[in-house]
Chains A and B, each alone.
Chain A
């Protein structure tokens, strides 16, 4: 009889303690982010959708050295290089990337391309909503990856 009583009191105290914790938590401020109703927050270093950078004159920083493609563990970067000419100048150096595709079907967002780039041309942005119904739509072209022209370079 004593054992049963002891068990009942033990159980009751344990339950009371448990419920006091859940009740206390109920009164705490919520920590949930209301995505998609509110934009999510990221740390500065968050590795999202890539952004191809331009220099202060609006020229592309990429000089088509293929280091990012070589560093990529999943082989998702495809580049075709071309020569700059005086009449048709895309980047400040000799060559530029005529084609620069990133296949987001394969990309694992490891950041190796950014680490490899000697010109700081490729960086990670904070974009992440890239889901698509068609895998072809996930192969991003240079035009989709490039950052917009700075205001100072627009004529």
Chain B
């Protein structure tokens, strides 16, 4: 049933406006129902589910390693972060130790994912507030990162590159040189975006003081990620519960006390710089060694031994046709995705397919704050508020 707002008796002159689901500024198929007093939003409701894909149910029909392909498609702007969260959850269930080189590569690639996801956010955010060139510049740089993903995994967006116990493929020779080229090129470009926006009077008028959310409300509504840090809470899973060797990297967690759209913008801009720092550290400290854990019952053998050893070939056949049998139990693993705290809750009944897989999607939780944020604002600012939360509807309606 469609979501509607009833008019309050005595307030019949207020207009009820349906915004979306095809509105270009709602970042996907989000429908908002707004009650307007003149141009001011008095009440708001949202209607989600237009992009419902049934991913959580689909997980139950696929083996653990096949499920990785679904995680790509939930949050299509941060496929590698989702791959990582899902793989880490299964590795926790199996008690697998991932070799350092795989961990470092994972960190490097997820930080690049964070940068490219923030670039899409920045580009679309600026576009919606009328700055067309920022959008084009952001997508130019994003393309460089996507080419690195294509170089490494074979696909720009639907990478499915992380596997249970390590990586799918040996990264190609010379790929770090490509990353290095990007890392060198990017900081001046970041300065350019800042030059276009940070002091721009139009940008300031549209963002400063708009879409304010207090620290208490942000925590109460379980906001996470950069949006939470822009409300003054220093909470980052990479620091709070380090995974994949994040404790071995030096970086800061940028926060802002203001809690408005401008603060969320500044936090994400600083985050890109911090991510770049991590990428640089991962590149310089990249250890040697294998890219997969030595666990023949769970991890596919490498192609060399699969072709030369009959034992490896048997494991290969068994793993591909049947999958692996994890111990009975349940596991929850969160990671810091570009949008916030993404968690995978997996229940295993000992069969090769998960009994249940629930995703704690940051976009879904962050979107709940939108109703609070837009209240009392002008209709035109609703667009800025939606953009500043950086939700991906594919993840909301998974």
Q: Does A35 interact with chain B (Cβ within 8 Å)?
A: no
B residues less than 8 Å from A124 (CB atoms): 154
Q: How large is the interface on B (under 10, 10 to 19, 20 to 34, 35 or more residues)?
A: 35 or more
B residues less than 8 Å from A10 (CB atoms): 199, 201
| Interface 0/1 of B285-323, CB less than 8 Å to A | 000000000000000100000110000010011001100
Which of A11, A13, A73 is close to B66, meaning CB atoms less than 8 Å apart?
A73
Q: How large is the interface on A (under 10, 10 to 19, 20 to 34, 35 or more residues)?
A: 20 to 34
Among the 9-residue stretches A17-25, A78-86, A131-139, the one with 4 or more Cβ atoms under 8 Å from chain B is A17-25
A14 to B202, CA, bound (A): 10
B residues less than 8 Å from A46 (CB atoms): 150, 154-155
CB atoms of A112 and B69 under 8 A apart: yes
B residues less than 8 Å from A13 (CB atoms): 199
A71 to B172, CA, bound (A): 24
Q: Does B366 interact with chain A (Cβ within 8 Å)?
A: no
Q: Does A47 interact with chain B (Cβ within 8 Å)?
A: yes
**Is chain B's binding surface mostly helix, strand, loop or mixed?**
helix
CB atoms of B320 and A71 under 8 A apart: yes
Which of B168, B192, B317 is close to A21, meaning CB atoms less than 8 Å apart?
B192
Which A residue's beta carbon lies closest to that of B152? A45
CB atoms of A43 and B150 under 8 A apart: yes
Residue among A7, A21, A31, A44 having the largest count of chain B Cβ atoms under 10 Å: A21
CB atoms of A45 and B200 under 8 A apart: no
CB atoms of B133 and A45 under 8 A apart: no
Which A residue's beta carbon lies closest to that of B306? A118
Q: Does A93 interact with chain B (Cβ within 8 Å)?
A: no
Which of B69, B153, B195 is close to A73, meaning CB atoms less than 8 Å apart?
B69
Q: How many A-B residue pairs have CB under 8 A?
A: 84
CB atoms of A11 and B158 under 8 A apart: no
B residues less than 8 Å from A31 (CB atoms): 140, 143
Q: Does B137 interact with chain A (Cβ within 8 Å)?
A: yes
CB atoms of B153 and A108 under 8 A apart: no
Q: Does A115 interact with chain B (Cβ within 8 Å)?
A: yes
Q: Decide yes or no: A108 and B69 within 8 Å by CB, A14-B199, A18-B196 being known contacts.
A: yes
CB atoms of B172 and A45 under 8 A apart: yes
In the complex, what's the smallest C-beta–C-beta distance from B234 to chain A, in angstroms? 30
Q: Does A104 interact with chain B (Cβ within 8 Å)?
A: no
CB atoms of A111 and B192 under 8 A apart: no
Which of B200, B307, B313, B320 is close to A14, meaning CB atoms less than 8 Å apart?
B200
Q: Does B160 interact with chain A (Cβ within 8 Å)?
A: yes
Q: Decide yes or no: A110 and B160 within 8 Å by CB, A15-B200, A67-B320, A73-B62 being known contacts.
A: yes
Give the 8 A-B residue pairs with the shortest CB-CB distance, closest first: A45-B154, A73-B66, A47-B154, A14-B199, A11-B201, A70-B321, A43-B151, A43-B150
Chain A residues near B (Cβ < 8 Å): 7, 10-11, 13-15, 17-18, 21-22, 25, 31, 42-47, 66-67, 70-71, 73, 108-112, 115-116, 118, 124
Chain B residues near A (Cβ < 8 Å): 62, 65-67, 69-70, 73, 133, 137, 140, 143, 147, 150-155, 158, 160, 168-169, 172, 192, 195-196, 199-201, 300, 306-307, 313, 316-317, 320-321
What are 15 inter-chain pairs, A to B, with CB distance below 8 A? A7-B201, A15-B201, A18-B195, A18-B200, A21-B196, A22-B196, A44-B151, A66-B321, A67-B317, A71-B320, A73-B62, A111-B160, A112-B66, A112-B160, A116-B320
